Every structure is written in structure tokens, then in C-alpha cells.
Amino acid sequence: MDRIESWLQTQDIDLRKRSRPLVSLCYAQSLDGSLTQQHGVPLALSGSESQILTHRLRASHDAILVGIGTVLADDPQLTVRHVAGKNPQPIVLDSRLRMPLDTSLLSRHPLKPWIATTHLSDLQRRHELMAVGARLLLCEPDARGCVSLVSLLQKLAEMQVKTLMVEGGAATLTSFLVERLADRAVVTIAPRFVGGLPMINRQLFAPVYSMVQAGFPRLLQTGYDACGEDLIVWGDIDYGE
């Protein structure tokens, strides 16, 4: 764990040079690359040691982001409750403001979530979410009408967010890769075959990356460590420009 954390800390997070936060993809998958067995049914893939690592990773980032699909499926807390440290600011990608008002993030988290949405979202719904404490980040829509990640990262940099941990789910992780906005990854691999929801959303990924192997995003400076019964793989993401 110490090797991963010191590697995370060696990275340059000077916003004056970078103009956007440093983005880390941190998620757990099975041996076959599944994030869960069935969409909408939470599955604790990683062991207790890896869960502690995840909480330490959370504590080392300024903010943590998930897509609304994950909130609707898992109702995550996104806190660092298993370790001592600071909770990162939770952020949810939610262009249509589907976030239920009684989610853990709105009702139990000590920091109220920031909801990244677009200028096209419903005004009445914005007011309802703000009334229960959410802060809305109005971003440009992308070509699909989703939240433009470039626009969101610009906004976060202006708000002095230097490091952003992206925890999932599949569409969100894939969007960061497709848009080449993820800088590094820490992947927990649980030694199980699950045959469920693939980490890569093929619909988003396939049109962008060709079948030429050299063109796929990959890890450089890769590190490997055992963590309980899981394997942790980490490194800088290289897009093979």
C-alpha cells in the first residue's frame, strides 16, 4: 500500500501548469474484467485489505467522482470510514438529474455532493436538489447530451480541485479513457470469475479505439502488489499519441 501511495504523491499536481485536476481511475474488477455480476446489484468484489486501500486512496484525493448509474445501483457512501483521513468531495455525473433525494450521498455523507449536470437540465429538479444541500455544477453538454468532462474538469480546476479519483461505473471509466482525460489508474483485481458487467462500455469505446493494438490506452511505469488475496496493478496511462 505504501508503494502505491508514495507513487501517487510523486505526481505533479500544480494546477498552474496542468489547467485541470490529475485524474486517477480506481476501481475493482474480477479476473474477467467485470465490475459487478449484474447491473444494479452491488457486489463486494475486493477483500477487506483492498477495501482499506480504496479508502486510503480516497483520502489521498481532493474529490471522488461516480456516474449516476452507480448511485442508482449501489447507493454508495464514498467516505473514508475504514481509515483515518479526510473525505474527498463527492461528485456525481448526472445530466438528467436522476439523483434520488434520499440517497446516502444526500442524506448521510458529511459533505453534500456536487452534481455535475448540463445547462439543459430541468430547473425545478435543480431547485429540489439544491434544497436538500446539493451543489450543482452547470457544465456544457457533450455531443451525446451528457456532461462534457472537459468542461467539468475546467470548472473543478477553477475550484482548486487538484486530484480527482474516478471510481466508476463502466460508462464513466470508459468516457475518461475515450476522452484521454485519465492520467493514472489503480486497479484491484479480485481472483474470481464473475462474467458480469464489463469494465469497458463497448458502445463508447469501440468507435474510438481501432483494432490496432499499439493504439490502445495502456499503463506505463506499472507496479504490482498483492493486497490480501487481491492483486493491485497501478501505473500512468499512456494513450500512444
Ligand X SMILES: NC(=O)c1ccc[n+]([C@@H]2O[C@H](COP(=O)([O-])OP(=O)(O)OC[C@H]3O[C@@H](n4cnc5c(N)ncnc54)[C@H](OP(=O)(O)O)[C@@H]3O)[C@@H](O)[C@H]2O)c1
Tell me: does residue 35 bind ligand X (CB under 6 A). yes
When binding is defined by CB under 6 A, the residue of 53, 59, 67, 113 that contacts ligand X is 67
Return all residues near 10 (Cβ < 8 A) that are at least 6 apart: none
The amino acid at residue 13 is I
DSSP 36-69: ESBTTB----S-HHHHHHHHHHHHTSSEEEEEHH
When binding is defined by CB under 6 A, the residue of 80, 147, 164, 237 that contacts ligand X is 147
In terms of Cβ atoms closer than 10 Å to its own Cβ (0-12, 13-18, 19+), residue 73 is buried
Tell me: does residue 68 bind ligand X (CB under 6 A). yes
Residue closer to ligand X (CB basis): 156 or 170: 170
How far apart are the C-alpha atoms of 62 and 23, rounded to whole Å? 11
Tell me: does residue 121 bind ligand X (CB under 6 A). no
How far apart are the C-alpha atoms of 117 and 195, rounded to whole Å? 32
Spell 99-123 as b/e; 16+ CB within 10 A means b: beeebbbbeebebbbbbbbbeebee
Tell me: does residue 45 bind ligand X (CB under 6 A). yes
Tell me: does residue 36 bind ligand X (CB under 6 A). yes
How many residues belong to the site for ligand X (CB under 6 A)? 33
**Secondary element (H or E) of residue 150:** helix 149-158
When binding is defined by CB under 6 A, the residue of 51, 63, 74, 87 that contacts ligand X is 74
How far apart are the C-alpha atoms of 193 and 1, rounded to whole Å? 24
Binding to ligand X (CB under 6 A): which residues in 166-225? Answer: 167-172, 175, 197, 201
Is 209 in a helix, a strand, or coil?
coil
Tell me: does residue 66 bind ligand X (CB under 6 A). yes
When binding is defined by CB under 6 A, the residue of 149, 165, 181, 185 that contacts ligand X is 149
- CB 118 to ligand X: min, Å: 8
Tell me: does residue 98 bind ligand X (CB under 6 A). yes
- CB 157 to ligand X: min, Å: 17
Residue closer to ligand X (CB basis): 98 or 108: 98
Residue closer to ligand X (CB basis): 22 or 166: 166
- CB 144 to ligand X: min, Å: 8
How far apart are the C-alpha atoms of 127 and 125, rounded to whole Å? 5
How far apart are the C-alpha atoms of 214 and 191, rounded to whole Å? 27
- CB 129 to ligand X: min, Å: 13
Please report, as ranges, the residues that interact with ligand X according to CB under 6 A: 27-28, 35-36, 39-40, 42, 45, 66-70, 73-74, 93-96, 98, 142, 146-147, 149, 167-172, 175, 197, 201
